[in-house]
Chains A and B, each alone.
Chain A
Amino acid sequence: AQKVTQAQTEISVVEKEDVTLDCVYETRDTTYYLFWYKQPPSGELVFLIRRNSFDEQNEISGRYSWNFQKSTSSFNFTITASQVVDSAVYFCALSVFQGAQKLVFGQGTRLTINP
């Protein structure tokens, strides 16, 4: 069975601070995808990144960066110089290549950026 744990339920920081959202996953499969989604107050899920299990390179996209470490089964997400518009709930998710490839979501981290 697959499991995703986001231990931080809520995080609150002041604008321009850097913030890291943690994600730890469990799976017995050797091939899988990891995702991060953003859910603003409006409710829709905004895709941020997909990473497959064969690619451990870290990725940077503007103020966003992701640190994938298979050794610790973690896929952490860092926002640099946070902005108020970054306030949202962020979900980490996992899907495996075999079977239905359905997504298993973490519990989500509610991020509040205060001006």
Chain B
Amino acid sequence: GAVVSQHPSRVICKSGTSVKIECRSLDFQATTMFWYRQFPKKSLMLMATSNEGSKATYEQGVEKDKFLINHASLTLSTLTVTSAHPEDSSFYICSARESPNTGELFFGEGSRLTVL
């Protein structure tokens, strides 16, 4: 199947700094990518939908200025956690879809963010 890769897989940062997480589709062009957040022992919550070349659509309750999403190319979407705080510590997972009309989604390996 298609491959979606996230980087970094783990990151530890100090409170107040910004962290960027990359999501790449390695063998297909992803017109749409989704960013999910997973708290420990909890389900995955959709944060935002990013479409190549346009602004991301954020879910209710997600701060767009806090979680900056950029989808500048068909193979790369980035999530930047700005001015990170300990409560932003979480597991972030991206998924990508090749075709706009199928339900086939491919997930990255996830990125675990720890804010000290």
Contacts and interface: CB of A to CB of B under 8 A. Distances in A.
Given A44-B107, A45-B93, A47-B1, A105 B112 contact: no
A35 B101 CA distance: 16
Contacts of A106: 43
A25 interface: no
B67 interface: no
Size bracket of the B interface: 20 to 34
Interface string B85-112: 0000001010101000101111111101
Interface stretch (A14-22, A62-70, A75-83, A96-104): A96-104
B43 A107 contact: yes
Nearest to A100: B49
Interface of B: 1, 32, 34, 41-46, 49, 57, 91, 93, 95, 97, 101, 103-110, 112
Interface of A: 33, 35, 37, 43-45, 47, 50, 52, 91, 95, 97, 100-108, 110
Given A33-B103, A44-B108, 15 more contacts: A37-B107, A43-B109, A43-B112, A47-B107, A91-B44, A95-B103, A100-B57, A102-B49, A103-B44, A103-B46, A103-B95, A105-B43, A107-B42, A108-B42, A108-B43
